[in-house]
Structure 1
């Protein structure tokens, strides 16, 4: 990998200190996917277990949207390492408090959900901090590769973390897994504190020629085109994640009721998706020679096309590889979006813009899942999957058409210092 576009990322003297902490924390978060809902099942009273599991899962993510908006006044102007470190500290402390309360025998459902909500309050800022740190430390020709590494770490953890959590819960209990997640965030917080310099890194300036690289013309300052690009990114991403939401509602029912298959098949589908996502995350850097906005809209269309076999009722021998291809398309999307934000946003505003992006998109998938429930009831799981796939393809085509209809400047290739 050292002869690839990832060499400058892995050899950077500061990033290579942070990446192990990110990997440890991602693994802890991957395990928590199972542990949080399982502990909620243990704590909830009979007859309300489903509601409390849903509340716990929502509390571990949705408050980040609130924090992204309400805390903007207090967190703007902070460095990427500060924002990411503060999020890791809060996550570790709140999850640790859950473990302490459980050990003391005083953890009840309301306290559990409240502590989960506190733990996620800075999550949008933590994500913004990670990608801001990339923009602070690396020249922009290496942003896509670094974003791809971050994505691949997270996707790999979602493959390894859940089965590992299942084993640990079987040997011990869910609180032990949450304790390990808290410890992983403590490791990450210490990494940011000790590995990064006390002085704020010098940010890369916003690129005045970015609009040409992504397929837009610009006024002399570039601000109008960049603002239009950022609004387009938010709209396209919200629509993409919203349309992905119904898959979470439809897939289990499709597997159980329409295919009459066991839950293990559902796990195989998600594993295939995760493997594809890891490969796609590592392949993100090779999109750098393409104009990023057309590449991103193409990803949306390709993702919808890869989901079509599921909606059309294709056998698993066809739909399973297609689902892996969908994962292959999924991972580069986030890396590409972040690269566009990094290129079009002034350094002092980048954390705020990325936190706003996180606040908007974190709502989209749960909202889409909620919409998916009535769709499954009305049309069936298979048709809901088909409708979502077609809608994604239409969204990508509309976004691409909007880009094509605008006058475009000459696309300038970025130099490749290492010759790749």
Structure 2
């Protein structure tokens, strides 16, 4: 429960969210599960190192990290026919229970001396297989639970919790690992999802909107993709996000090597970069959520271009203080992106299609970062980390320019079609920049 005194400290845009009992009960559980995942960012790799056979550490760590995230894309495709029609609350509950059960098996197997690398990777993979559906259910539930003018604030608040977990979670895991070991930290992650499952089960089912979708019925099979093709704005947002995440991938490879090779610094300096980014992302997300309305495409393109710009100074060999400030500013700029993207999908997707569309979106985006990261390895080996960071920034700027050009062309085509249809140039016409 949120106290009235704490609610009064929030910006006015966020206060109405806590008048909804379901959202008020759900938010602490979502924050707890985000914190658990933040701790697991460290614990999953650390435990893999402890159980890996000699000379196989890199393989086991890579497999464990991939298993903790990537199977969600396969689950979004394999279980679509069975899960698309399920209520969002039930999707969240099923995903939370599965993660609680299978992640909870990790410390149990560790305590019994049975945690072989194959079993470990298998438990991680099985625990994440429905996570794309759980995420889709979360944002679909917000769309049903809250009026349209409160969705951006809700998405921003949840995104801020996720960003904060990236700051607090790894630091807390590093402290706890010395006391209890990484397997028990994964057990704490399991407990956080058990807490979320209990909270979700106590939320009453919100009925689906009575308005039928224009596309006729619920999405099945490849009809989700066909529906997106009929809505260029949603398909364009998905494509832009995919390439944005793809171009971010090399940063995760190049930044640690920049710290060690170029700056001759250690893990504490790398931690400062990510702490600055996470703190900036929290502030940027909360600031965006406090605004009543944001024009989606101008703000989104400004975010993409702004992130590209902050990476360019890395290629110039600027002092650490300058690049650290740039990375923190990058977090501030990037912060609103996720909330804006989910709000667009919530507002422009017919309610019966929303869960399936969001699961498809999650499955598609799960491939972007790993592909970019895989490409970042050989690029960094050839070009060096500083140039890779700057090249990622330049490519992101090009992406923003191409997206702006495509939007402009689309807007011009709509204007010409509307003028031909109306046979007159009287009255203002809508463009793609909303």
TM-score w.r.t. the length of structure 1 is 0.91
**2:249 is the alignment partner of 1:249:** no
The equivalent residue for 1:316 is 320
CA distance in 2, matches of 1:386, 1:42: 35
**Contact 1:80–1:128 (CA under 8 A) maintained in structure 2:** yes
Counterpart pick for 1:367 among 358, 368, 371: 371
Deviates more, 1:308-317 or 1:12-21: 308-317
**2:207 is the alignment partner of 1:201:** yes
CA distance in 2, matches of 1:206, 1:335: 26
**Contact 2:208–2:352 (CA under 8 A) maintained in structure 1:** no
Over 3 Å counting, the alpha-carbon distance change for 1:63 and 1:413 in structure 2 is: closer
**Contact 2:144–2:207 (CA under 8 A) maintained in structure 1:** yes
CA distance in 1, matches of 2:75, 2:374: 22
SS in 1 for 2:366: helix
CA distance in 1, matches of 2:83, 2:316: 47
CA root-mean-square deviation: 2.1
The equivalent residue for 1:417 is none
The equivalent residue for 2:179 is 171
The equivalent residue for 2:119 is 111
**Contact 1:281–1:335 (CA under 8 A) maintained in structure 2:** yes
Unaligned runs of 5+ in 1: 209-222, 415-420
TM-superposed CA distance for 1:125, in Å, is 0.8
CA distance in 1, matches of 2:90, 2:357: 16
**2:143 is the alignment partner of 1:130:** no
TM-superposed CA distance for 1:252, in Å, is 1.0
Counterpart pick for 2:343 among 329, 336, 339: 339
The equivalent residue for 2:156 is 148
TM-superposed CA distance for 1:176, in Å, is 1.1
Deviations 1:248-294 (A, max 9, x none): 11111111111111221111000000001111121222455332122
Over 3 Å counting, the alpha-carbon distance change for 1:167 and 1:229 in structure 2 is: same
**Greater Cα radius of gyration, structure 1 or 2:** 2
The equivalent residue for 1:53 is 61
Residue pairs, 1:204-283, within 5 angstroms = 227-283=231-287
Unaligned runs of 5+ in 2: 1-8, 215-226, 416-428
SS in 1 for 2:207: coil
**2:23 is the alignment partner of 1:25:** no
The equivalent residue for 1:90 is 98
**2:49 is the alignment partner of 1:41:** yes
The equivalent residue for 1:329 is 333
TM-score w.r.t. the length of structure 2 is 0.88
**Contact 2:297–2:433 (CA under 8 A) maintained in structure 1:** no
**2:361 is the alignment partner of 1:353:** no
The equivalent residue for 1:220 is none
Deviations 1:33-60 (A, max 9, x none): 1111111001001101011001101100
The equivalent residue for 2:406 is 402
The equivalent residue for 2:218 is none
The equivalent residue for 2:167 is 159
Deviates more, 1:307-316 or 1:352-361: 307-316
The equivalent residue for 1:284 is 288
The equivalent residue for 1:211 is none
- Total equivalences in the alignment: 398
**Contact 2:163–2:278 (CA under 8 A) maintained in structure 1:** yes
TM-superposed CA distance for 1:10, in Å, is 2.5
SS in 2 for 1:189: helix
The equivalent residue for 1:78 is 86
The equivalent residue for 1:69 is 77
**Contact 1:69–1:359 (CA under 8 A) maintained in structure 2:** yes
**Contact 1:137–1:202 (CA under 8 A) maintained in structure 2:** no
**Contact 2:410–2:432 (CA under 8 A) maintained in structure 1:** no
Over 3 Å counting, the alpha-carbon distance change for 1:14 and 1:144 in structure 2 is: same
